[in-house]
Structure 1
Amino acid sequence: MSYRTILGILHRQGSASGLLDYALPFVARHEAHLIGLHARALPITAASPLGMPIIDPGLMHPEDDGELRELFERRAKAEGVLHEWRSYETVAGDAAISGIESARSCDLVMAAQNDPDADAQEKSDLEALLFETGRPVLLVPHGMKPAKTAAPKRIMLAWNGSRQATRAAFDALPLMREAQNVEVLVLDTMDTLRQDASMAGTAIAEALSRHRIDVTVRTEESAGRSQYQAMNDCVAESGADLLVMGAFARGRISEMIFGGLTHDMLRNMTVPTLMAH
């Protein structure tokens, strides 16, 4: 298994350069084909209090399409990457929503984390990519300045035995084969009828090791911290430069209302994070 077709979601000018810094060396390493995708918001006409038509300037980005395309193509050519450009015009101007259909024909989707402090209209619906595409999504933290060398050396796999975690683990195999070590992290283990807590993570570690991957298992307790805080602490302690995890085991609406690990990690990731649902 390898990544041959990769979709890059280029939502806004401000985040595009950082995403390309990470994505282009990644694509070059895997000798893949990169699709750059952007959606431009259509101007929305409304009526003023005096009945005059007005256009909401906050929903207009007329410069984005041409500038983003030029940036994407110039940098892809410089990197020697096979590439193509796709552009859409929609009311919302959300590249993540516009990219759902394209993503279903790709091995991997790459996107930049939303700026947690940005206005809602400036954010992209990354959850839709996870929920609607059936493809793994690799997110690059907002403001990250990645090294041009690129390949992850240490990967942390967040493991809870769920379908989502299983999907993420095997979707990340090409990356794990590049890494020097993969650490399986099991948080807050419990004895169940099917598994002793002390054995949690061992079966997936053994399966990954058969792919000639150097794997270790680590068990930790949240100990009063939120799960995302505990996970980020473990990432920092291990020196991992990529996190792999399942997404929305509780469901998207449930997490939006009550909170959950996926929702928290989308806002608080500290390293590039591959998620799968």
Structure 2
Amino acid sequence: MAFKTVLVVTGSDLGNGDLRMGADLCEAIDAHLAVLAVEIAPPPPIGDYAIAWYDERQAGMEKLYQRCAAVKDFLSSRRASVDIASEYQEEAWTDDMIGRRARYTDIVLVGPDLLSHPLLKRKALEGALFSSGKPVLVVPQGYKADLKPKHVMIAWDSRLEASNAVSRAMDVLIAAKDVHVVLIDPLEGDGGQGAEPGADLATYLTRHGVKITVDRLPSQGGTVAETLRRHAVDTATDMLVMGGYGHSRLRERIFGGVTRSILEEPPLPVLMAH
């Protein structure tokens, strides 16, 4: 897919690093930068603290107003076109709000600033992955946002989420110099990943002109996340493409184990889709 609108989520207490990263990315790929500034409201008080709670909310709204003004000023000289929106939202509904906003973009960029804010990071990832249908590009400290990486690795397990991630990343895969399809402890047969695990995906991607290598790896007692991290280093991978796994339990989103591990400590830029 073509990435023409990139969403960056920021907060009142975050720096401008993610904004700079988003603007650099948009200028590199000729895309529009959408910025969503979010302030999460404090929970309702228990007991006789209504006045203090009201004052705290007013202060939060003022911080959000000031943050938007600062963002506008910071991005005013950039070549990329920019729009800035703001939301003062209750914690329980913040993920849904971010997900709704993300539906009108092509990809959500989660950079080091947002990764350093546990609550807003979680809400942004949950909203983007579970409520928008759009991919997320997670970029840890020390890396730049790049949607034209040379060396890409796909974490493949034949499930729907992995298939969606591959589809969302197709333009990235086609442009890459080489792509490694990685299967950890693959199961052969109809109930697993076919007679030759990875072959079906390799055939599909080859028709699109993707340069494919299939790597079937044993976990050797380690976790899937550890094996992926190690192989990414061994293959000098620039980007990991993988499915984002999880489900909703009432209002709580639950990430799968591998997804959670990768998102807690992303070893390199990760393009993820649910």
Which TM-score tier does this pair reach, normalised by the shorter chain? 0.7 to 0.9
Q: Does 1:231 align with 2:228?
A: yes
Q: CA deviation at 1:69?
A: 4.8
Alpha-carbon distance in 1 for matches of 2:234, 2:12: 33
Specify the alignment match of 1:70 in structure 2: 70
* Contact map agreement 1:48 1:54 (CA 8 A) in 2: no
Alpha-carbon distance in 1 for matches of 2:127, 2:237: 27
| 1:56-205 equivalences in 2 (<5 Å) | 60=60, 62-71=62-71, 74-75=74-75, 77-92=76-91, 96-112=95-111, 115=115, 120=119, 123-141=122-140, 144-147=141-144, 151-193=148-190, 199-205=196-202
Q: Does 1:251 align with 2:247?
A: yes
* Contact map agreement 2:18 2:110 (CA 8 A) in 1: yes
* Contact map agreement 2:138 2:270 (CA 8 A) in 1: yes
Specify the alignment match of 2:25 in structure 1: 26
Q: CA deviation at 1:228?
A: 0.9
* Contact map agreement 1:112 1:140 (CA 8 A) in 2: yes
Call closer, same or farther: CA 1:8–1:148 in 2, change over 3 Å: closer
Alpha-carbon distance in 1 for matches of 2:88, 2:253: 28
Q: CA deviation at 1:232?
A: 1.0
Call closer, same or farther: CA 1:189–1:73 in 2, change over 3 Å: farther
Specify the alignment match of 2:266 in structure 1: 269
Matching residue within 51, 54, 64 for 1:53:
51
- For structure 2, the 5+ residue unaligned runs are none
* Contact map agreement 2:164 2:273 (CA 8 A) in 1: yes
Call closer, same or farther: CA 1:62–1:153 in 2, change over 3 Å: farther
Specify the alignment match of 1:5 in structure 2: 5
Q: Secondary structure at the match of 1:74?
A: helix
Alpha-carbon distance in 2 for matches of 1:245, 1:119: 22
- TM-score, normalised to structure 1, is 0.81
Q: CA deviation at 1:186?
A: 0.8
Say which is worse superposed, 150-159 or 95-104, in terms of deviation: 95-104
Alpha-carbon distance in 2 for matches of 1:96, 1:217: 36
Q: CA deviation at 1:195?
A: 6.1
State the superposition RMSD in angstroms: 3.4
Q: Secondary structure at the match of 2:108?
A: strand
Q: Secondary structure at the match of 2:52?
A: strand
Q: Secondary structure at the match of 2:226?
A: helix
Q: CA deviation at 1:99?
A: 1.8
Call closer, same or farther: CA 1:251–1:45 in 2, change over 3 Å: closer
* Contact map agreement 1:188 1:222 (CA 8 A) in 2: yes
Call closer, same or farther: CA 1:170–1:69 in 2, change over 3 Å: farther
- TM-score, normalised to structure 2, is 0.82
* Contact map agreement 2:224 2:258 (CA 8 A) in 1: yes
Specify the alignment match of 1:208 in structure 2: 205
Call closer, same or farther: CA 1:256–1:229 in 2, change over 3 Å: farther
Call closer, same or farther: CA 1:211–1:102 in 2, change over 3 Å: same
Percent identity for Structure 1 against Structure 2: 24
Alpha-carbon distance in 1 for matches of 2:204, 2:154: 13
Read off the aligned partner of 2:30 and give its amino acid letter: E
Say which is worse superposed, 165-174 or 79-88, in terms of deviation: 79-88
- For structure 1, the 5+ residue unaligned runs are none
Alpha-carbon distance in 1 for matches of 2:34, 2:254: 34
Q: Secondary structure at the match of 2:204?
A: helix
